[in-house]
Structure 1
Amino acid sequence: MPGKNKTIEKQLSEFYDGLVVDDVHFFGIRHHSPACAWHVEKFIRRVRPRSVLIEGPADMTRFVPVIVHRHTRPPVAAFTSYVDKARRIRLPEGHKKDEPLRFGAYYPMCSYSPEYVAIRRGVELGADVRFIDLTFPEQVLAGKYTRPGLRSVGMISLLEEDYLQSSRYVQQLAANTGCRDADELWDHLFEVDSTRCDTDEFIRRVAAHCFLARVNHDPRVLRLDGTVQRERAMIRAILEQRARTDGSPIVVVTGGFHTAVLPSMLKDASGKPPEDEKRPEFSKEETSTSLIAYSFDQLDSLNGYASGMPLPGYYEMVWRLMTEGSEDSLSEAAGRLIVDVGRFVREKNRSISVSATDEIAALAQARVLARMRGHVGPAREDLLDAMRSCFVAGSMEAEGVVVMEVVREVLSGWAAGTVAPNAGLPPVVEDFRQLTRKYRLKIDDTIRREIVLDVHRKPVHRRISRFFTQLSFLEVPFATMLRGADFSAGVGVDLIREQWLYAWSPAVEGKLVGLSVHGDTVSSAALSRLEEAVAGLEEQGRGRSTREVVSLLTLACQMGLTGSVSRIAGVLAEQIGEDASFRSLAGGLEQLRLLWRSRSTLDLTETDRVKDLAKAIYVKACYLVGTLANVTDEQADEVIDGIMSIREALSGEESDLFDSELFLHGLGEILWARRSNASVAGAAAGVMYTRERLNEAGLLKHLSGTVNSACVDRQGKVAFVRGLFCTCREAAWRVPGIIRSLSEILEFWSEDEFLAALPDLRLAFADLTPREIDRVSVLVAGFHGEEDLGELVHHDVTEEEFQFHVHITRAVGEVLAAQGLGAMSADSSGDSK
């Protein structure tokens, strides 16, 4: 081991000496580190380079003037995308895709990002500032963001630090120093004393840290993921810039993981002719890069951002105080943030008290923790530990959750940047702006506005509705429907107007930029996402769900994406035969009928195709009806809903499309089955009765068979009636024998049996209107020789009196039952009024 340490020490010594290669000065950084930004600024001012070269896609160089523009305020980010239209990425067999693969990434910068500081100071000194990494499409082709079977990617960061964070050296060093993770270790080693450390010493310390972090990484992995190719590109860029500057100083600012090898690579390449490496060419349709406004919540590593520091609002406060000349920026930042957290906790939850005394105690404890840990002032974790201790009086799982959520919000920050005009926004953003102008929607402020759209009579309102629906489908936070037709749920389909609430915010364009990988216009992005949704259903095994495919078909029509209707209809046609769910088929048929009835509003053109699909769904559903006799009680309600949906189809305006005999035959199989679910059998009987396939005598026969069956419990006896009333509630008063049979059943039940069946009884009559219930009550009274049931509500009896008499009745009944006189009690109570 000592020999190995000596080898490492020798390598480190040689590495230190190589950080300056002739006229090239290497400065390794951690992205979004205030300490690195502080020393980058001092170093550039001291060296006064002719060129400043920065890790980042080379095509970002054109944004340097925009980045330093007085109207640009960080946080900002370059957004870059790549669409593999030329099919350069070869996927394994079995991973064919009609649409090209799409990739997108961010390159964010805030005020304390070393790259941002290097750009500003370099431009200020008149240096030539350039980005020197592979472009994003080149990085994709180099293998960094591809994997077998890839369909598409989400938004990623071009400043990832996975290798640095996951290094065995870093993890072990964190454990040895008592730090909880790599972030706390970085603060402990570099952030807490950044302003008191000599710049050259700081450069050496960061370089050593990153050099040791890279030692154990497998070079083969770094080649496979494109890291080596990127570093070669950086060396080529350095050599090209060196040839242009004729020996003038060059400062190279890159992530420390790359700085660990770049000096030696430059030495090896110096004096040699540059490699003649052919770089791919991309069309404008394949790639785009733009500078956009960004926000701290997007930058926060705790929200999933892959590089940089957590809680950026905290570091922003520290950086601002550092640049303002504060002698104790860490303590001053801790004090300000503690006060802010206390105020926001009180505003958010009045039941949690954070007093000024608590705030003073938290600051004092943060300072004590800092001294114990060898810090010149409270670091981030010192501050967090102090607030956990002083602000949370109760449980961390209860009160602590509320308090620490506020702590995170305050320390994350709410800042959003702005970008100077002409920053090269993606085409989808320009399309959005153009459409808002066309439809006279205001986006020059953040005021929330209501708009009423007459979609049935005004074509322009119909187009606005489709625009809003596309944005909602894409999850762009711009417009929300307050009132209108929901064709998928079958709600409000008869409304002739829609009411929407819309408002612009920076999040709108931020979301649109992220969606630019899906298309150049709002409609093309929606179409791309819709195609992915259809493919996703197929891959996840839900493609056999008729209802879900019909929902997508309806959505396509609502968004005006008529080009996708044919494909979705084709998928639906293939899947109907594979769908074994009666609920899915019946639900899909109901949605398809709604689509048919709204065909003029939705500009549905493939009407014949929709009719054919509806017929196919109906036939398959009818085929399954006969198999539903023995469903469980848990499944019965869904089956009854499906039966009712198909019954409605036979009585609607499109009833001529369907052969009723198929449906009635299936219901007959349920009725004549040796054993069947009582509520489903009742529903089947109700439909057969209304369709005149079952007369009154036949209906009573099936009811009697269920009521008198020894295989049916008391809930089952009521369940038949409940199912019957679901599909034929008029039978309650048109067929008096039904209520008579039910009344006779109740007379033989004990009070406990009645109470046990009461929920099902209530459900059985739940759909009857008050007038219909009155008609039934007259029938019941007639069975007992009365004209009516009398007064049903006695307002002269208080609740206390009622409960008292119930208690007395129950007590007397228990005494009589104990003496063997329970039957007498039941008879007397039944005779009394």
Structure 2
Amino acid sequence: MNPDWSMDPSGDLRQIFEEDVMNFKKGIVYFPVRHHSPACSYHVKNVIESYKPEIILIEGPESATPLIDILADQATEPPVSLYCTYEQDGERSAYYYPLLSYSPEYAALKLGTERQIPIRFIDLDFRHQNRTEEERQVEASLQDETLLAGSEFMKRLCDTFHCRSFHELWEKLFEIPGTASTTTVFARNVFTYCTLSRLCYTDHELALSGDVEREVHMRMQIAGASRDYKRVLVITGGFHTYALLQRHIEGNAETLSHLSLPKKSTAAPHQPFTLQKENVMTEKTVVSDPAVTDHQVYPMVYTFAEADRLNGYASGMPYVNYYQMVWNEMQKHSTHPFHRAGLSFLAQLTRHLRNRNEAVSTSDAIEAYRMIQGLADLRGKREGGVFELLDASLSSFVKGEHTLASDEPLEQLARMLTGDKIGSVAPNRLSIPIVEDFKKHSMVFKLNLKVTAKHQKTLDLYAKPQHRRLSQWFHCVSFLVPNFAVRQSGPDWVAFKDMSLVRETWSYSYSSRIEARWIECSIYGGTVQEAAVRKIEQAAAEIPEHHSEKMVELLLQACLMGLEDMVHRLFDGVKAALLLDGSFLSLCRTLNVLNRMQQHTRLLGLSPDIRLPELIHEAFDQAVRQMLQLGHTHPDEHALITQSLKLLFMLSTASGERYDRETFRLHLDELLADNGLPAQLEGSCTAISVGLGNRSKEEIVLRAKGYMRGTPEKMRKTASYLHGVFAVARDALLYDDTLLMELNHLIAELPYEDFISMVPELRLAFTYFSPMEADLVAERVAKMLETDVEELDRPPVDEQLLQSARSMDQALREEFAKWSLT
């Protein structure tokens, strides 16, 4: 079904189109398009063939004009993109200008280059529009079609034609009948519908979007080209075409002021757009923005997944791979490109589902094919498009109710329709060294950058040197571009877990956004390793000189990345920070990292170096010197302090090491002499002092009695004390009944409310015991209570049942008393 002119009864738009848009007798021909539309590309090629322009002007960043030869090179394979970056008011922004093989702009680039026709981009390099802080953090598209797709006019058309979305409407009115229409009729329809969408917005709304300023700039470029060339072809988004017609802006501003949307019972959210001459921005009002600095444009690869409208891309159509196949059929001059594309995807889907052992028969596929044709006839379409394909697949391949469990056919079809292709850019003088170095190493390590799917690499860190080098490279890349590779399993150097594992698994996925991040990293160096070194140096310079914990994290990162020279330089930084660091916790965390590094020197690839043991001793001594400040610390830090004291204790008792144990003992004694020492830390210090041989085991029980048999306030701190003891010396409860008996006495004497409030802390304290140790404690408790362990495992009697039984017992006693029964 072809669109009609019912929305323009006066015929003003028809007249404007015939006189000023597609008038081959004039010096300028405007061809309105929708970005990434196969039908528009088909007719763009036709108009170039028939009009034979002397120059082609395309909506695109003007500073990218020198890159046209690269984009049109035979070695460049779409999807590709221009990556535009600039700084404005101190904030960095970026935009993409994607090109698919069926983008009208790319079709014009290719054909124009083949015919040796000069080509220029005429749009602004950046967009001035009001954006929220969140929007500034996300790269946008220079081809944003939000206003076109979201206009009130398009919404009403969707209702009129019973389409579920703007994309379905566009496919029905333009894509499917596109090749059957003449180029003039097709362009007229695109111009009409896009212009009527524009009329839904006020001047103020268009100015806020940045479109007005862009259109003024494009008019200036068109005017300049028209002075030098007799036949100028202008290819822009249909939403902008009317605004580019100079005569109607300057002389006939009121021509369309009476046009508005058809009236409905409810008012439209926007007032109709009217061109008031005093409100029109002209060339004289355009000034360059001095706040925009450091503007750059690069050619880069792009992906089908990123170009898909369903993945958040703001222009073009969804299901990129589907329309790529439609375009391929158009190039073969197929009379039914949508029919052939749908048949191909049905065959692929059926094959995939059978390989997955899904219950799909040949009759299901045949029925789906018939349904595509039937739905197309029912909906008044020349051929069945992608939405008929989706509906037919839902009906034929999803058995029973459509749920998450039965959604596999549609999920797979969606993946196929989107595709996973990554383009390539021809070698050129603008190649970014760090991007080339990244790709070269990816090739050496046999990483797949050809598709956007996630891939996995399992590395044997000890057995294969090449795997060790790849692990270091992955760490380098993750440090610079976090989204490319993610470690799935293996030694965890952040939480120090799974350190005994000898294999490491990484997942990685490549996309244009990864390449964009590499372009941004080019300021750090020409290779991945150089950039990593420079970024670490920058990070080290930003760390306060007394933060040893942050400095040692950088040291560990450099070790994981295999940056040996940087490691030796960071040793000096860590040592200097240790001497200035006055935080006990920070020093102990630094000590823990250094100790872990010494335990895994082979995994980290560290050469025997006397400096690492020296740093560990220095960190130990500095931490011990700061112990006396622990008497007045925040309760939230007590758990971390307990673990830090335990680390010092373990190192001080290690055989073959010469730590300052005497100072450690003296400071423990001073802490235990402090009556204000928090209960948890008192428990830890007491257990450590007993472990060092400074005190007898009885002191643990003696201090516990002080809590358990003390004042109510002291009794409430018993669980915290036990928490500290168990964190260091669980054997105090495992092999000595004295402490167990005292704990039993405490539980028996505590008021009910105090016991309930203490239960969470008691539970936490007992989490240090393994299941086997907990069973051993249970056996000793059962023996002490003269019962069996099985009795302890029985569920308690419900409290309400006990109360009911007690009430019943009391009632029976009273009744017996009345009858003098005993």
Match of 2:388 among 382, 388, 409: 382
Instruction: Tell me by how many angstroms 1:242 deviates.
Output: 2.8
Deviations 1:2-57 (A, max 9, x none): xx988985366435532146221101111111111121122222222222221112
Given that residues 19 and 26 in structure 1 are in contact (C-alpha distance below 8 angstroms), is that contact kept between their aligned partners in structure 2? yes
* Letter aligned with residue 313 of structure 2: Y
The residue number in structure 1 matching 2:752 is none
What secondary structure is seen at the aligned counterpart in 1 of 2:245? helix
- Whole-angstrom distance in 2 between the partners of 1:532 and 1:385: 55
CA distance in 1, matches of 2:426, 2:476: 28
Does 1:393 pair with 2:396? no
Whether contact under 8 Å (2:594, 2:612) holds in the other structure is: no
Structure 1 residues 781 and 335, CA gap change in structure 2 (3 angstroms): closer
Matched, 1:194 2:207: no
Q: How many residues align?
A: 737
Paired residue secondary structure (1:104)? strand
| Aligned residue among 187, 196, 220 for 1:236 | 220
* Matched residue, 1:96: none
Does structure 1 conserve the Cα–Cα contact (< 8 Å) formed by 2:575 and 2:615? Answer: no
Q: Separation in 1 of the partners of 2:318 and 2:404?
A: 24
Corresponding residue for 1:824? none
Specify the alignment match of 1:728 in structure 2: 729
Measure how far apart 1:290 and its partner are.
3.6
Check if 1:143 corresponds to 2:143. no
1:310 Cα offset (Å): 0.8
Greater shift in the superposed pair: 210-219 or 151-160: 151-160
Secondary structure of 2:193's counterpart equals helix
Of the candidates 426, 430, 446, which is equivalent to residue 420 of structure 1? Answer: 426
How many angstroms does 1:293 deviate by? 3.2
CA-to-partner distance for each residue in 1:122-147, whole Å, 9 max, x for gaps? 2333322222223x3xx2xx625x86
One-letter amino acid of the structure 1 residue matched with residue 155 of structure 2: Q
Tell me if 1:343 matches 2:351: yes
Kept in 1: contact 2:75–2:426 (CA 8 A): yes
User: Which residue number corresponds to residue 188 of structure 2?
Assistant: 204
- Distance change (3 Å), C-alpha of 1:115 and 1:242: same
Q: Specify every segment of 5 or more residues in structure 1 that has no aligned partner in the other structure, as ranges.
A: 92-100, 539-543, 793-801, 819-833
Alpha-carbon displacement from aligned partner over 1:343-400 (angstroms, at most 9, x marks no partner): 323444x4x4233222222233333332232222222222222222332224434224
Instruction: Tell me which amino acid in the other structure corresponds to 2:387.
Output: E
1:547 and 1:402 mapped to 2: Cα distance? Answer: 48
1:477-527, Cα deviation, whole Å (9 max, x unpaired) = 8777799865433357799xx87789998x278623433123343357657
Q: Distance in 1 between the 2:498 and 2:210 partners?
A: 54
Judge conservation of contact 1:81–1:517 (CA < 8 Å) in 2.
no
Residue of structure 2 aligned with 1:516, choices 516, 519, 524: 519
Cα distance in 2 for partners of 1:16, 1:26 equals 11
1:53 aligns with 2:38: no
Local SS of the residue matching 1:159: coil
Letter in 2 for 1:117: A
The SS at the match of 2:75 is coil
Structure 1 residues 7 and 353, CA, compared in 2 at 3 Å: closer, same or farther? Answer: closer
Please list the CA deviations of residues 312-338 of structure 1 after superposition, one character each: whole Å capped at 9, or x if unmatched. Answer: 011112222233233332233222212
Distance 1:433 1:379, change over 3 A: closer
The 5-angstrom pairing of residues 709-728 of structure 1 reads: 724-728=725-729
Q: Deviation of residue 200 (structure 1)?
A: 0.9
Q: 2:45 pairs with 15, 37, 41, which one? A: 41
Distance 1:151 1:257 in 2: 23
Deviates more, 1:637-646 or 1:124-133: 637-646
**In the alignment, which of 12, 27, 30 is matched to residue 26 of structure 1?**
30
Shift of 1:197: 1.8
Conserved 8 A contact 1:76-1:292 = yes
> Counterpart amino acid of 1:473?
F
**1:309 positional shift:** 0.8
Measure, in 1, the Cα distance between the counterparts of 2:617 and 2:210: 53
Aligned with 1:76 (options 52, 56, 80): 80
Change (3 A) 1:569 1:465: same
* 8 Å CA contact 1:314, 1:411 repeated in 2: yes
Q: In structure 1, what is the Cα distance between the partners aligned to 2:541 and 2:161? A: 50
Summarize deviations over 1:761-802 as a string: whole Å, max 9, x none.
Answer: 9855429899xx99x9999999999xxx9xx9xxxxxxxxx9
Going from structure 1 to structure 2, the CA distance change for 1:260 and 1:344 (only over 3 Å counts) comes to farther
1:303 is matched with which residue: 311, 331, 356? 311
Give 1:569-588 correspondences, 5 Å limit: 587=589
Q: 2:99 is matched by which residue type in structure 1? A: M
- Output the CA distance in 1 between the equivalents of 2:301 and 2:10: 44
Say whether the 8 Å CA contact 1:294–1:417 is kept in structure 2.
yes
SS at match of 1:261: helix
Distance 1:524 1:253, change over 3 A: farther
Q: In 2, distance between residues paired with 1:332 and 1:129?
A: 34
Distance (Å, rounded) in 1 between the aligned partners of 2:439 and 2:685: 55
- SS of the residue 2:335 aligns to: coil
For residue 478 of structure 2, what is the aligned residue in structure 1?
A: 472
Q: Distance in 1 between matches of 2:716 and 2:361?
A: 60
What is the Cα deviation at residue 219 of structure 1?
3.4
In the alignment, is residue 126 of structure 1 matched against residue 102 of structure 2? no
**8 Å Cα contact 2:709-2:715 kept in structure 1:** no
Q: Over aligned residues, Cα RMSD in angstroms?
A: 6.0
CA change 1:346–1:428 in 2 (3 A) is same
Kindly provide the CA deviation profile for residues 610-650 of structure 1, in whole angstroms up to 9, marking residues without a partner as x. Answer: 99999888888874665567x7xxx9976754553454576
Point out where structure 2 has 5 or more consecutive residues left out of the alignment: 1-5, 252-281, 750-754, 806-822
**Match of 2:265?**
none
Residue number in structure 2 paired with 1:90: 89
Deviations 1:165-218 (A, max 9, x none): 232332333344332322222222212211222221111111111112222334
Structure 1 residue matching 2:426: 3-state secondary structure: coil
- Three-state SS of the structure 2 residue aligned to 1:260 is helix
The answer on whether the counterparts of 1:37 and 1:114 sit within 8 Å (CA) in structure 2 is yes
Which residue of the partner structure matches residue 240 of structure 2? 258
Contact 1:66 1:423 in 2 (8 A): no
Please, which of 137, 143, 164 is the counterpart of residue 159 of structure 1? 143
Q: 2:581, 2:96 → 1: CA distance?
A: 42
Mapped contact 2:555–2:567 kept (Cα < 8 A): no
What does the per-residue CA deviation read over 1:448-494, in whole Å, with 9 as the maximum and x for residues that have no partner? 98877789xx9x99997654322022346877779986543335779
**2:691 counterpart of 1:687:** no
Question: 1:60 and 1:706, CA in 2 relative to 1: closer, same or farther beyond 3 A?
Answer: same
Query: The residue matched to 1:512 in structure 2 has which SS?
Result: helix
Output one character per residue of 1:650-674: Cα deviation in whole Å (capped at 9) or x when no partner: 668796599676666667769976x
The answer to whether 1:110 aligns with 2:100 is: yes
In structure 2, what is the equivalent of residue 94 of structure 1?
none
> Distance between the aligned counterparts of 1:571 and 1:330, measured in 2?
70
The answer to whether the 8 Å contact 1:668/1:684 transfers is no
Cα distance between partner residues in 2 of 1:528 and 1:176: 60
Which range moved further: 6-15 or 113-122? 6-15
Paired position in structure 1 for 2:19: 17
Aligned twin of 1:322: 330
Secondary structure of the 1:53 match is strand
- Of the structure 1 ranges 467-476 and 405-414, higher mean CA displacement relative to structure 2 is found in 467-476
One-letter amino acid of the structure 2 residue matched with residue 406 of structure 1: Q
Q: Map of 1:597-636 to 2, 5 A cutoff?
A: 601=606, 623=629
Letter in 2 for 1:30: R
For 2:69, the aligned partner's letter is P
- 2-side partners of 1:266 and 1:610: how far apart? 79
Contact 1:488 1:591 in 2 (8 A): no
Report the TM-score, using the length of structure 1 for normalisation. Answer: 0.70
Q: Distance in 1 between matches of 2:157 and 2:382?
A: 21
2:55 matches 1:62: no
The percent of aligned pairs where both chains have the same amino acid is 26
Distance 1:359 1:149, change over 3 A: closer
Q: 1:148 to 1:175 in 2, by over 3 A?
A: closer
